[in-house]
Structure 1
Amino acid sequence: MSTDQFLTPDERAALMEVVSKKVRGTGSGSSAFLDGALPYDLSSQDYTVSSLLPVLDTIHERFAHRLRIGLFELVRRDLIVTVGSIEKRSYTDLTTSLSVPCSVNVIGMAPLSGPALLIFDQELIFMIVDTFFGGTGRPYKAASARDFTTTETRFIQRLIQLAFGCLEGAWEPFTKITCDHQGSETKPQFITALNPTELLAVSSVHISRDTISGIMHLALPYSILEPIRENLLNSLCKEHPNPSERLTERLREGVRDSQVDVRCFLAGFELMLSELLALGIGDVIPVNIPPKAILQVEDVPIYSGHYGVAQGWRALKIEQNLGLPGEWTEPPAAAPAHDFAPFTAKV
């Protein structure tokens, strides 16, 4: 079918100009857009992926941290997990760089639309199996390319489930995702779920021990990130706390059990150093004691009231809550008077 039925000569010329010059055209054709429309370069997605790299790096770091813990629980041995930088690669470039066989898994990350790739190279699979069964760490090289054994396939499934849990935890502060497994291949060229011309954000994690190592790749097509692009960019300026109810309760109990220095300040006076040195036994210093004393906690005035004696103890009758520094914009109103409570004061 001829393109003449869909595009006018002017429209074809405008598209060819954008593709050839790779510019965000703002010429005479821009008046056709509605007010507020954003310019979009049809020839490349590179600039849009670059804007997401900082937040994707953060997610990738969180993913690697969780993966390190999960691998220790899987093989009961510390593995060295090294995070690589995120690369912008085409689908064809990625698949041609992989050795055969490898475990290429098509995964879904709902609610993100479209599939992504989770790839384990054969060295990683061999290392995980060797470590789990207490191997010596000697690199394994098959005489010829072969499919994965039943045992290796079972470990691939365990790695997939481990990676899913780590991914969901890493993405949680930004957007809640649910991962699912859609298919697997040992030869990358047989994967047809992705567009060969799609631009991918590829993050790699290098896992090693002794003299053996392997690589895990996570390839995210830009098309699945486009719907949440604004949310990801906005999240760069926000903090994403990961609250723990158990930790919060322990901190609260610890604060309540903390000991603080409480003093009752009655009055003070100033002396010159020469006057202080001239004092002797029997000298009397006149002190004007105000009607109210100040109760200080860690040198911060908190309460005020009358000083007296209750049940044989020197005590402070709390009559006013002074609040924290800067809390009062006006002089605080007098609080209801309380009964004298036993209180040992340093005068």
Structure 2
Amino acid sequence: MADVLSQSEVESLLSALDPGVQVRQKRADDPNSQVSIYDFKRPERVSKEQMRGFQALHEGFGREFGAALSGMLRTIVEVKLISVDQLTYSEFVYSLENPSCFNLLTAEPLEGHIILDLNPSIVFPIIDRLLGGGRESTQKLPGRPLTEIEVRLASRITNLAIEALKNAWARICQLDPKISQVESNPQLVQIVPPNEVIVLISFEITMGEMRGIMNLCIPFNTIEPLAGKFSSNAWSTYTQKQADARQSMNLETGVNHAKVKLVVRLAETHLTNSDLLNMAVGDVIPTGTEKSEPLQVDIEGVPKFYAQPGSYKGYTAVQIGKAIRAPEDVVEEKLKSIAATKPPQAQAAT
């Protein structure tokens, strides 16, 4: 039987045949080589800039929610943002405790759902506080789902979170979150496919010696229409401000005194170059327009009114008649008339 070559002998033979093999091997083993790991099962759909936007947006949410929760419980409650990550929905669901306080929210005008999950380690102490008790940190928490009364009490917490979330998202859009379902087993709720990318925003709620985690799960396909607003560093400029009365009056006064170009079209016709070159004094140009037809008044090149020619105090003038409707206004009126003539059953079907 032939002798078996050792690994060092095989490498020496390969290096003798192809000197580039050893170089490629060294490059593969070099820890400083520029190789980035990419998992095709978890595509990075949310950019780092967008993740920073999520972090800045929900830091304000945490402060407002913590202040509201402290006011309701009459004790100091701290809500701290601890992480903003993107992962798949299945990874998020299987990382939660069972049972848990799993709230499914609708968030108009966005499509889809948002999940607000409260860990039992903080929900039960808050409920106990609402009922007048004060559990010690050493006491064991019940490992059971919330009762119907406890769910009603926990809704006071989620309502505060929803209000704070609405105020924080006012910088991006007028979000209207509402609770549609409350579950104790997170695995029974599937709002997106298991491999769908979600943005997971985690907060730590601290009340005295009691601590717990609150998770806000936002599927990427839900916020995809607004993803561009998170990409800009100026996303905070979306904050809506009340218009100042003085500024409004100054703007209105300035616009009212602005000059515009007004043109009255008396008539239109077409001439050839030869007719124009042979034109002389006294020639008559037929326009094909009746003298009784209204004239068109253009403001800044846009047709606005019909008018009749005449004179006023010795000056040539026009008298403004009816307004010229824009094409989009005509289309809107036709659509409304069509909708009004449809029978109720046809409207319900559409």
What TM bracket, shorter-length normalisation? 0.5 to 0.7
Report the number of matched residues: 209
Report the residue type matching 1:217 in the other structure.
N
1:65/1:51 CA distance change after superposition, 3 Å = same
1:141-187 deviation per Cα after TM superposition (whole angstroms, max 9, x unaligned):
356x3221233211221122111111110000121111122212100
Give matches, 1:202-217, under 5 Å. 202-217=200-215
Q: Does 2:140 match 1:141?
A: yes
CA contact (8 A) 1:79 1:208 kept: yes
The CA deviation at 1:120 is 0.7
Tell me what 1:263 maps to. none
Tell me what 2:108 maps to. 110
The CA deviation at 1:220 is 0.6
Q: Flag the structure with more relative contact order, 1 or 2, with Cα contacts below 8 A and sequence separation at least 6.
A: 2
1:218-263 deviation per Cα after TM superposition (whole angstroms, max 9, x unaligned):
0011111211111232363653556579xx89xxxxxxxxxxxxxx
Tell me what 1:230 maps to. 228
1:78/1:238 CA distance change after superposition, 3 Å = closer
The CA deviation at 1:99 is 1.4
**TM-score under structure 1 normalisation?**
0.54
Tell me what 1:15 maps to. none
| Alignment gaps of 5+ in structure 1 | 1-21, 24-40, 250-347
CA contact (8 A) 1:199 1:221 kept: yes
1:12-58 deviation per Cα after TM superposition (whole angstroms, max 9, x unaligned):
xxxxxxxxxx99xxxxxxxxxxxxxxxxx997541434341011011
CA contact (8 A) 1:109 1:177 kept: yes
Any runs of at least 4 consecutive aligned residues in structure 1 with deviations exceeding 4 A, and if so which?
A: 41-44, 240-245
1:238/1:192 CA distance change after superposition, 3 Å = closer
| Alignment gaps of 5+ in structure 2 | 1-35, 246-350
Q: Among residues 145, 153, 156, which one is paired with 1:155 in the alignment?
A: 153
- Secondary structure at 2:234's aligned position in 1? helix
**TM-score under structure 2 normalisation?**
0.54
Quick check: 162-171 or 89-98, which moved more? 89-98
CA contact (8 A) 2:203 2:214 kept: yes
1:183/1:237 CA distance change after superposition, 3 Å = closer
CA contact (8 A) 1:76 1:132 kept: no
- Secondary structure at 2:83's aligned position in 1? coil
1:196/1:49 CA distance change after superposition, 3 Å = farther
CA distance in 2 between counterparts of 1:77 and 1:70 reads 11
CA contact (8 A) 2:77 2:205 kept: yes
1:177/1:45 CA distance change after superposition, 3 Å = farther
Q: Among residues 118, 121, 124, which one is paired with 2:119 in the alignment?
A: 121
CA distance in 1 between counterparts of 2:134 and 2:46 reads 46
CA distance in 2 between counterparts of 1:109 and 1:129 reads 26
Report the residue type matching 2:109 in the other structure.
P
1:240-298 deviation per Cα after TM superposition (whole angstroms, max 9, x unaligned):
556579xx89xxxxxxxxxxxxxxxxxxxxxxxxxxxxxxxxxxxxxxxxxxxxxxxxx
Give matches, 1:298-317, under 5 Å. none
CA distance in 2 between counterparts of 1:184 and 1:136 reads 25
Q: Does 2:66 match 1:80?
A: no
